[in-house]
Amino acid sequence: MLVSLLLLVLATACVISVGVGLWVVGHHFLTAEIPAAIGHPVKLRACHCISQLLTTWGTIFEKMRICSMQFLRFIHDLAPLKKDSDVVVKDLWYGMIPVKLYQPKASSSNPRPGIVFYHGGGGIVGSLKTHHGLCCHLCKESDSVVLAVGYRQMPLHRFPVIVRDCIVATNHFLKSLSTYGVDPAQVVVCGDSVGGGLAMIVYQNLVDSSDLPKIRAQILIYPAVQALDFQPPSYQQNKNVPLLSRNMFFYCWCAYLDISPSWKSTVLKGTQLPAEVWEKYRKWLGAENIPEKFKKRGYLPTPREPLNEAAYLETNIILDLMTSPLIADDEVVSRLPEACIVSCEYDILRDHSLLYKKRLEDLGVPVTWHHMADGFHRVLITLDMGCLYFPCSTRIMNAVVHFMIEL
């Protein structure tokens, strides 16, 4: 009887697993858009299906109250860390914040540049482990000391804990540069996706700290720098392109800021903010700031509808500069350091980079810009993914390393 019951449970589990897998694959082919300009479309489909499968199982387990969003990070972190004989890696703690320190193994008679790295993942799926390979490459190829910040994440920690962790860890690192053999005149902040936004926020919060070394430059890889507008051209053109759809970005946005997903239609129409707020920030967020060549794949301006007062009361946290650093005053942005910005054509966050680039250039801040015509969001993490590797990831890494060397 017991054996029969176990066999029944096993058979049921197999049927459910196959069903979930088929549903994910079917949903992918019905909804995902694979641009023709992206090389290796089969690889991208495979990456997306794997990502969606993990997300679906995470949602199922969350509904069953077995676990929560941590399931995604748990699966991602199962992958073994690759060791690099040329890099020494140390796991440290800055209070409650875990960090990884990467140092070139070869000795140096002079202090090295330092890079504070904030990983992406929307505060949900990224971790020190998912970006370990990137940090090793960055450390070795640029001959720099890299500190990767393992800020605490959802669901246990939301805004503003994630931001504060990054500020605290960076502050601690800047006060310990001599310990790590870092040149205080050559410290750079760097991040991908939400990590790029965190890099901006960290600098803006430390810009007046006279007791700390000045940050030399900022490296932002397809960063998320504003949480107000869901209707720029790239959001319309790339809303169903893997590996970050507009729906997924909205989910991360809600979870990060603890906003109810029920406001989705309101936010997508832009009725969560008063007309005077949109007018105030139009000079920085308006689609007229996006070069016309980036609108050729399709863009339909969306008229602003009347304000939804209830939505405004719940979502106005998006006006906080620690969620939308792009809307900081000119006096702050003009004092930001030289920047290296990487954007990808098939990324819903593409226009974040374009808007930020324009703001910096308008205020006289030097900008080095690299646009990947065949790139998509999260492509950089494929750098060490074996058969799922995309050449675009190497070009991004090379651009970043070259920028570091030329500083």
The catalytic site residues sit at 193, 347, 377
Calpha distance 334→223 (Å, rounded): 19
Q: Residue 97 in contact with residue 168, Cβ under 8 Å?
A: yes
Phi (first) and psi of residue 375, to 5 degrees: -90, 160
Q: Which residue has the tokens 């140390």?
A: 90
Q: Measured in whole angstroms, how far is the alpha carbon of residue 268 from the centre of its chain?
A: 20
For residue 207, give Cα distances in angstroms to 13, 187, 202, 334, 336: 55, 13, 9, 11, 8
Q: Which residue has the tokens 């900008």?
A: 367
Calpha distance 380→383 (Å, rounded): 6
Q: Please, is 93 exposed, middle or buried when counting C-beta atoms within 10 Å of its C-beta (0-12, 13-18, 19+)?
A: exposed
Q: Please, is 311 exposed, middle or buried when counting C-beta atoms within 10 Å of its C-beta (0-12, 13-18, 19+)?
A: buried
Q: Residue 349 in contact with residue 38, Cβ under 8 Å?
A: no
Whether the upstream peptide bond of residue 212 has omega within 30° of 0, thus cis, is no
Calpha distance 5→3 (Å, rounded): 5
